[in-house]
Structure 1
């Protein structure tokens, strides 16, 4: 199978062939185009790799297998196969958004030698509340109702969910971009990814992740409470937590300059 075509792999190449590598992984309902305002900040300094998970963006939908993509392990396999086809074997800097943070953590556990650092934007190891010790932000009934809306009114769900992700008072263009992406995703594939996203729980895996990480938490995020970031910071080995003063769940789209600055601070030993 042609992985490059399957996952619509794109690269932004610097002049230096030995430049460090960044691999970007998008969130649920999104695609690699959501990184378009962030990648220019690292142009010429890094070999930047972008891809779409099967079932998202401009990936090859014919490669979608329900048994594979009903769990996060299938998406982690996509990530690892993209790295393999590009002959990436070590020192990869992973940049993930939302559910891709969990996917990146699972991939790093499988292949600890592959990744040097994880940059996690809006991560959540579990969206469900598990009282009294863990507040993920949602009751199961809330998420089941969201999936029910998706099943019966895909466009209505997209128009409801997009402003929730972009945040109150956000740029209307961001909400439109998210809504368009949600609407363009095949409903069956989107539902399976949604179930894998919102009903997964990787909390028991966190202490097994050996890769140092930067957690970028949004201060006002309807999907991920700040307590989740505190929990991750406590559980992940060698993690750094920074809270960004932004609304919404996608600072790489709404405030790319803040995300780029935080990444630069964290990667100061890599940047010239």
Structure 2
């Protein structure tokens, strides 16, 4: 066990089960966004939470501008954590860009993961005419980055409300904004560039690990067309349309999020048993 890696990413291991269940946050968030969902799995799984370098209680001194200019740098961190803990066949649960990070990690080391569970994922946030609708025009993303550079607090307020939705529950957007504001602005900006300018559509066919796509309703960040595209192009994928609205159902609708994850895992276990019986 490499304790320096566990300290670098502020890794916390909880639970009483044998199967590892790794929860990865999205852009600008720390591991605590998963608390309500992760807690429900502690009885039956080994729950693993971590922070990206630059967020939460990670070691900000470990930040490397070159390494983290690409999502693959964050994916390497996930691989490092798995290797340090001696994990195999772990279930990876990622929110938003965390899903892409898990996908990259699984491409390099498929033996580390049994399943990928993607909550509000997107292989490309930018519209690419004529056949791909990602949700944003290039000018909109450039404007978003410009706001982050000039007024990070203003960006945090605006983007938190946009991503969270559920305007009738303003405390949710405030919670997300607080998490954005606790992240180093310079690091958050570089993470945002790596996220919003990424185009992983050409990599989807390389994913060999079975996956679940949880698509939120009324998600401005990852519209329904994005989830449907992923399901069509991601081998061995299962698609579930959620009743939850907005882009952060693990925070706004943790019960439904946990229920759909558990249902998928139970079905996966049943399939494994059936395959074993056939052999």
The interval holding the TM-score normalised by the smaller chain is over 0.9
Unpaired runs of at least 5, structure 1: none
Equivalences for 1:1-272 in 2 at 5 Å? 2-14=4-16, 19-88=18-87, 90-169=88-167, 171-269=169-267
Specify the SS of the correspondent of 2:205: helix
How far has the Cα of 1:173 moved from its partner? Answer: 2.4
Secondary structure of 1:196's counterpart equals helix
Contact 2:141-2:196 at 8 Å conserved across structures: yes
Task: Write 1 or 2 for the structure with the bigger share of helix.
Answer: 2
Q: CA RMSD in A?
A: 1.4
Superposed CA deviations along residues 195-249 of structure 1, whole A, max 9, x for unmatched, are 0010001100001000000000011101111011111001111100001122210
Aligned mates of 2:267, 2:28 — CA distance in 1: 34
Name the CA distance, whole Å, in 2 between partners of 1:262 and 1:69: 32
Q: 1:63/1:222 Cα in 2 relative to 1: closer, same or farther (>3 Å)?
A: same
Alignment partners' CA distance in 2, 1:270 and 1:122: 20
**Structure 2: 5+ residue stretches without partners:** 271-279
Equivalent pairs counted in the alignment come to 268
Preserved CA contact (<8 Å) 1:69 1:75: yes
Q: Could you state the TM-score of these two structures normalised by the residue count of structure 2?
A: 0.93
Q: Show structure 1 runs of 4+ deviating over 2 A.
A: 168-173, 269-272
**SS state of the match for residue 238, structure 2?**
strand
What is the CA distance between 1:172 and its match in structure 2?
2.3
